[in-house]
Amino acid sequence: MTESSAEPGTATGGALDRRRLGVSSITLMIIAASAPLTVIAGGVPTSLAVSGSLGVPFGYIVLAVILLVFAVGYAAMSRFVTNAGAFYAYIAQGISRIAGVGSSLVALVCYNAMQVGIFALFGFTISDWLGTRFGITTPWWLWVGLGIIAVGILGVNRVDLSAKVLGVLVALEFVAVIVFDVVSFVAQPEGVTIAPLAPSSLFAPGIGVVLAFGVAAFMGFESAAIYAEEAKDPARTIPRATYLAVVVAGVFYALSSWAMIVGVGPSAAVAQSQELGPGLLFAFLGEHVGVVVTDIVHILFITSLFAALQSFHNAVARYFFSLGREGVLPRWLGSVRASSHAPWAGSVTQTVIAIVVTLGFVIAGASSDDPLFPVLTMFTWLTNTGAMGLVLLMAIVGIAVIGFFRRDARGVSVWVRLVAPVVGTVLLTVLLVLILANFDMMLGQEESNLLTWVLPAIVVLPGVAGMIWAVVLRRRDPATYARIGHSVEDPDRVA
């Protein structure tokens, strides 16, 4: 490992910290990205309010099944491809290097959008809670700034430190939601009904909205492969973590959204969600268990957001690292700290992006009197755009899986290398169409305007630019082009 003269204590072209993460660590980092408590407190009431459908619980089951089908080929490919670039490497090896570079920039935009968008909700939630609970007035951006610093510090340290922090936070989230579930089933003002778990509850008007909103709750599940170079046994750890994350999240979201409907009462669930929004969970707990427990859950809601921020930050840092190491982006992005082997350059770059984007929204909202400005703009616009782009990438990865195994089946069954990827790609394409069809509604707009087209363009145009750049690299630097998506060969992978 060669020390970088530009940055003492760092190494350019070094490796990530190998063999640090097991199945449980990676699974917790995946689940942290979706922020379970945030999904139940924010995603479920929003989906109920906008769709008017009680089929939200069954919707999570349907989405989990779709993602499990996609994961069959995705997990199989992870046994043979070990690269922190994940989607980028899969598409480069399964379709083409040009498509791989294009997808890498789309992934960077999407993961950054998800991470920076969540910062807005993080800052607003702390500011709002301090104001309503203690009468302390603070600007939302102050807490965003402090959050960026904390996330950045963890990002440049050893990955197992982040895993431990996220593990504790996710465990506390689960406890908080389980408490809510128990209280809901005890309250049951209209009795316990299994109707929200029946297919008939979903396959009715509003199904498109339920699925479009619901898929965002799973974003991050695909990030297991990003940690392949740091996994103890990537050929086994990555598939197991991917499957476990989808199953746990799907069951947990279905059960907890069902509990919310039972606790509030099926006849009142939609109306209460429309009236209270994310405040529904806290109002319910305040009524049934008191202020102290509600405050604790509110704090855990904030830490839930922090866990998601850290998880997406780690993903972005590793994408930058992979692309810098292979020369697709400036090579200094491939630098790691000598002490922690963390991708410090990618981490710092993501931190700078978060600061710049946040400042842009702070300046834009300076003249707004609406306290919800950061939520209605920065959070809503960026997270929905990021989720849309990640669904697009997953559909493309499904095609890449087919291409990868077409040249060499590697002893993999037809179901794994062909049938499941085809079915998964079709279902993900349907999801993407549903998201686009309901995009105005997801942005809180009554009709299409310039924003309806600008936000998807922010995802697509970098992909086009990346493909053009790959063509340039092929002509200008054939050696660098040859390494695209192929730079890591793990001796322990399944051959």
Instruction: Identify which has the larger pLDDT, 383 or 339.
Output: 383
Instruction: Identify which has the larger pLDDT, 73 or 220.
Output: 73
Q: How far apart are CA 435 and CA 388, in angstroms?
A: 7
What DSSP designation does 84 have? T
Per-residue model confidence (pLDDT) at position 325: 87
Q: How far apart are CA 378 and CA 245, in angstroms?
A: 27
Query: Of 118-127, 329-338, 426-435, where does mean pLDDT reach its minimum?
Result: 329-338
Distances (CA, A) of 139 to 218, 255, 374, 466: 30, 36, 11, 38
Mean pLDDT, the chain, rounded, equals: 86
Q: Give the percent of the chain with pLDDT over 90.
A: 48
For residue 448, being part of any structural domain is answered with yes
Q: How many CB atoms lie within 10 A of CB 275?
A: 13
Query: Of 2-6, 84-88, 346-350, 465-469, where does mean pLDDT reach its minimum?
Result: 2-6
Q: How far apart are CA 266 and CA 268, in angstroms?
A: 5
What DSSP designation does 377 have? I
Q: How far apart are CA 224 and CA 195, in angstroms?
A: 34
**Section 244-260 average pLDDT:** 92
Instruction: Identify which has the larger pLDDT, 267 or 371.
Output: 267
For residue 430, being part of any structural domain is answered with yes
Per-residue model confidence (pLDDT) at position 160: 60
Residue 315 above 80 pLDDT?
Answer: yes
Instruction: Identify which has the larger pLDDT, 82 or 414.
Output: 414
pLDDT tier at 52, thresholds 50, 70, 90 = confident
pLDDT digits (tens, 9 = 90+) for 345-357: 999 999 999 999 9
Q: How far apart are CA 243 and CA 200, in angstroms?
A: 27
Instruction: Identify which has the larger pLDDT, 209 or 332.
Output: 332
pLDDT digits (tens, 9 = 90+) for 96-141: 999 999 999 999 999 999 999 999 999 999 999 999 889 999 999 9
Per-residue model confidence (pLDDT) at position 336: 84
Answer yes or no: are the C-beta atoms of 242 and 72 closer than 8 Å. no
Alpha helices in 96-135 (DSSP H): 97-134
Per-residue model confidence (pLDDT) at position 495: 33
Q: How far apart are CA 184 and CA 186, in angstroms?
A: 5
The CATH code of the domain that includes 290 is 1.20.1740.10
pLDDT digits (tens, 9 = 90+) for 264-279: 999 999 999 988 887 8
Which residues make Cβ contacts (< 8 Å) with residue 366, sequence separation at least 6? none
Distances (CA, A) of 322 to 82, 152, 155, 340, 487: 11, 19, 16, 17, 9
CB hemisphere CA count around 76 (13 angstroms): 27
Per-residue model confidence (pLDDT) at position 487: 61
Residue 91: both structure tokens together = 């598409």
Residue 494 above 60 pLDDT?
Answer: no
Q: How far apart are the first and last CA of the chain?
A: 27
Query: How many degrees, rounded to 5, is the angle at CA 56 between CA 52 and CA 62?
Result: 135
Residue 289 above 80 pLDDT?
Answer: yes
**Section 355-373 average pLDDT:** 91
Q: Is 141 exposed, middle or buried (0-12, 13-18, 19+ CB in 10 A)?
A: buried
Instruction: Identify which has the larger pLDDT, 10 or 416.
Output: 416
Q: How many residues does the chain have?
A: 495
Residue 490 above 50 pLDDT?
Answer: no
Residue carrying structure tokens 């957001």: 305
CB hemisphere CA count around 212 (13 angstroms): 22
Per-residue model confidence (pLDDT) at position 9: 45
Which residues make Cβ contacts (< 8 Å) with residue 303, sequence separation at least 6? 169, 172, 173
**Section 437-462 average pLDDT:** 89
Q: How far apart are CA 86 and CA 95, in angstroms?
A: 14
For residue 492, being part of any structural domain is answered with no
pLDDT tier at 459, thresholds 50, 70, 90 = very high
Query: Of 230-244, 396-410, 425-439, where does mean pLDDT reach its minimum?
Result: 230-244
Q: Which helix (H) or strand (E) holds 488?
A: none
Per-residue model confidence (pLDDT) at position 395: 94
Per-residue model confidence (pLDDT) at position 84: 67
Count of structural domains within the chain? 1
Which residues make Cβ contacts (< 8 Å) with residue 494, sequence separation at least 6? 79, 80, 235
For residue 450, being part of any structural domain is answered with yes
For residue 280, being part of any structural domain is answered with yes
pLDDT digits (tens, 9 = 90+) for 150-190: 999 988 886 666 667 777 888 888 889 999 999 999 999 99
For residue 3, being part of any structural domain is answered with no
Q: How far apart are CA 77 and CA 416, in angstroms?
A: 10
Q: How far apart are CA 424 and CA 77, in angstroms?
A: 14
For residue 495, being part of any structural domain is answered with no
**Section 211-220 average pLDDT:** 82
Per-residue model confidence (pLDDT) at position 16: 52
Segments forming the whole domain that contains residue 321 = 21-483
Residue 466: both structure tokens together = 């990346």
The pTM of this model reads 0.86
Residue 244 above 80 pLDDT?
Answer: yes
For residue 491, being part of any structural domain is answered with no
Residue 369: both structure tokens together = 């009197």
Q: Is 438 exposed, middle or buried (0-12, 13-18, 19+ CB in 10 A)?
A: buried
**Section 221-227 average pLDDT:** 71
Per-residue model confidence (pLDDT) at position 288: 92
Q: How far apart are CA 421 and CA 416, in angstroms?
A: 7
Residue carrying structure tokens 């020390």: 3
